[in-house]
Amino acid sequence: MDSDERFMRQVLRLARKGLGSTSPNPVVGALVVENGRIIGSGYHKRAGVPHAEIVALSKAGDGARGATLYVNLEPCNHYGRTPPCTKAILDSGIRSVVVGAHDPNPHVTGGGCTFLRSNGVEVKCGVLEEECTRLNEAYIKYVTRGKPFVIVKGALTLDGWIATKTGDSKWITNEKSRKFAHSLRKRVDAIMVGVETIIADNPLLTPYLTRDSAPDPVRVIVDTTLRVPLQSRVFDSGTSALTIVASGSNVSNTKRKRLEGQGATVIKCQMRDGRIDLADLLDKLAEMSICSVLVEGGATLFGSIIRERLVDKFYMFIAPKILGGDNGVAFTRGPGCDMIEDCLTLRPSMVRRFDDDIMIEAYPG
């Protein structure tokens, strides 16, 4: 591994500290290196505060003059909530900048690196580009397509069930798997479930198994006819996070007002085949600056969002348990494919064990 890759891996570790806190901004880490020695480091903590480059340059002080800056994403070259990082880089006297990946934001693309080069700074781009791009995959989809990055998380028995015939699903996976799943909740802007999950499990939909300081994600309940019980724990979960109930277009004002009295925000969505049009719902969430959504069930919602090809990534947890029989709750409900060749094919990017459980991280292929 050359020195550029070694320092970029440290940058990525710094950047990951911002996961779940920076949206709608990307997660970014930065190092200032002089003669192989790190003299300044930083990461972007949340939107509106100094960017990673500014933090690292501030720590380096006068030592930044003639040094190299490492950053996983192209430095911004525009005024947003904060001034452009490119100006601060020039003012610091940095000699060279090593970038992991270009920023596809229409306000940034090519601008940061081009501006620095035109002002005499050496720029090298593309170091660990795949890892740097993947780290900000939700941000990239949001700024390029204006839609949230959709993740499906499922926990299955070895024979493919997510619950017994009585609806019992506690617990298919072990504690380590559940803790990792809660860490996923902290990385996203919103958690989405169908109303049947609320009725059956009465979940909090908060990452209570983690101790991360990132803000709790928005809770989104897909509920075409507003059947969600008013006494559901999701309305009294001790978090300041917004609870959104997505309804169909023909719900009564009385039901809507009752839910709003519980602190929920009700948004009406277009209908498709008698159900909420999930693509329309995702567009409405994007308008609320929600860049990433973790879909946690149940089977009806899983089936719909997969059939509509709206999923960007899967986390599938498989436990070494066999329910047996044919009367459990399958991972998805609704019509499936007639032919195997029509199945959604996944491209696994990682397989990981949590004691006896196996987790497969995969992208639609």
Place of tokens 């066999």: 322
What are the strands, taking DSSP E only, across the chain?
29-34, 37-43, 68-73, 96-101, 122-125, 149-156, 161-163, 190-194, 218-222, 243-247, 265-268, 271-272, 275-276, 292-295, 313-318, 329-330, 346-354, 357-364
3-state secondary structure of 19: coil
| Half-sphere CA count of 121, side-chain side, radius 13 A | 32
Catalytic residue among 34, 53, 175, 341: 53
Closest Cα to residue 57, out of 40, 77, 37? 40
Report yes or no: 187 and 291 within 8 Å, Cβ to Cβ. Answer: no
Q: Which of these, 89, 143, 167, 155, lies nearest to 286 by C-alpha position? A: 143
Q: Which H or E run contains 89? A: helix 85-92
Which amino acid does the sequence have at 13? R
330, exposed or middle or buried, with CB in 10 Å at 0-12, 13-18, 19+? middle
Q: Confirm whether 287 is a catalytic residue.
A: no
Vertex 281 angle, CA 164 and 205, to 5°: 45
Q: CA 243 → CA 30, 68, 69, 282, 327, distances in Å?
A: 35, 45, 41, 15, 33
Q: Which residues are catalytic?
A: 53
